[in-house]
Amino acid sequence: MEPLLTVEGLSREFGGFVAVDDISFALRAGERRALIGPNGAGKSTLFNLLSGRLRPNSGSIRYEDREIQGCSAAEICRLGIARTFQITSIFSQLSPIENVQIALIAHRQQSFRILRSSRRAYLDEAAELLAHVGLADKHGGRCGLLSYGDQKRLELAITLAMRPRLLLLDEPTAGMEAQSRRDIVALIRRLCDERALTLLFCEHDMESVFSIAETVTVLHQGRIVLEGPPDVVRADEMVRSIYLGTQHGAAS
């Protein structure tokens, strides 16, 4: 079967510095892949290229049989690729329910309706999505006041509102302590199962990586240096020397 996402020869440089260097890989539909690597290896840049925040200098990105490199972020969203950000990106002046509502409105391309009230727009669906991510009782108030973990859950709800097939999660457990990490990991796994999502995520927390990923891709200096199942990657000498250090090497 055709892969959902095919990346070929993707490169991107910034004023002489090559952030992403001739990267090629493919994601099957339903696959869950982790992207790991040292700081500055090119993970965020790769995410930005895939989500349309940046244009590549060369190479192609093929999604569902369409070439999408060079498409705008908004276009790529509408095609079914949704992403989160390392620094949680939500509409902090709006309430949680409004955050989800606007994502639903945008997805249905109803955002130019100037006379239709937004108060009850897709309210049931928005409430359901909030419940799915564990925010059932947190509809109102400014979401800038939500706790950190709740903001991350809200961001997930926003991405789900776009009915994506491919989810790009940028350090989904960043800044959380152990229990919250486990909660978010459990949530991500459940959502992926329930909605048959394809997942590509980058992470520094190895426990989260190994809980979620089927395959792990290791990036170093803009190139893919290893790709394989988590056990293989974790035991690899080179990966240990450039990234994992001594603590995560042994399989627990």
Partner 1 sequence: MNVAGTVSATILVVALALVALIAPFQYVFLESELLIAILYAMSLNLLMGVGGMLSLGHSAYYAIAAYASSLLLTRLGWPMGWAMVAGPPLAAAGALLFGAFIVRISHREHAYFLMLTLAFSQLIFMLIYKWYSVTRGDDGISGIDAGGVLASPRYYCLFTLAVVALSMAALHRIQISHFGLALQAIRDNPERASFVGLSTRYHQLLAFVIAGFFAGVSGTLYAFFAGTISPQIADWSASARPFLSNVIGGVQSFWGPVFGVFVLETIESQVGRFTEHSLLATGILALVVGIYLPQGIFGLLQALWQRRRTIAARRSKPV
Partner 2 sequence: MTELLALESIDAYYGMSHVLHGVSLSVGAGEVVLLLGRNGAGKSTIMRTIMGLVATRGVGRVSYAGRDITGWAPHAIARLGIGLVPEDRRMFAKLTVRDNLELGRKEAPVAVKRERWDLQRVLALFPALADLQTRRAGTLSGGQQQMLTIARALMGNPQLLMLDEPAEGLAPIVVEALAHQLALLRTQGLSMLVSEQNLSFSRAIADRAYVIETGCVRYQGTLTELDANPQAWTRYISF
Which residues bind to partner 1, rule: CB under 8 A?
51, 72-74, 77-78, 82-83, 85, 89-94, 98, 101-103, 105-107, 110-119, 121, 158, 161-162
62: helix, coil or strand? strand
Comparing C-alpha atoms, which of 92, 148, 102, 109 is closest to residue 125?
Answer: 102
- Choosing from 29, 123, 127, 174, the residue that interacts with partner 2 (CB under 8 A) is 174
* CB closer to partner 2 out of 102 and 176: 176
How many Å apart are CA 124 and CA 188, to the nearest integer?
22
For 65, the token pair is 């049989």
How many Å apart are CA 45 and CA 47, to the nearest integer?
5
Q: What residue type is 86 in one-letter code?
A: Q
Write the binding mask 218 to 247 for partner 2: x where contact by CB under 8 A, - elsewhere: ----------------------xxxxxxxx
When asked if residue 101 is in the footprint of partner 2 (CB under 8 A), the reply is: no
* CB closer to partner 2 out of 88 and 198: 88
For 62, the token pair is 């093929």
Q: Give me the least distance between CB of 99 and partner 1, in Å please.
A: 8
CB 179 within 8 A of CB 149: no
Mention every residue, 6+ apart, whose C-beta is less than 8 A from residue 53: 47, 73
Out of partner 2, partner 1, none, what residue 172 binds, judged by CB under 5 to 8 A for its kind, is: none
Site for partner 2 in 36-55 (CB under 8 A): 37-41, 43-44
The residue ranges that bind partner 2 (CB under 8 A) are 14, 17, 37-41, 43-44, 86-87, 147-149, 171, 174-180, 204, 206, 240-248
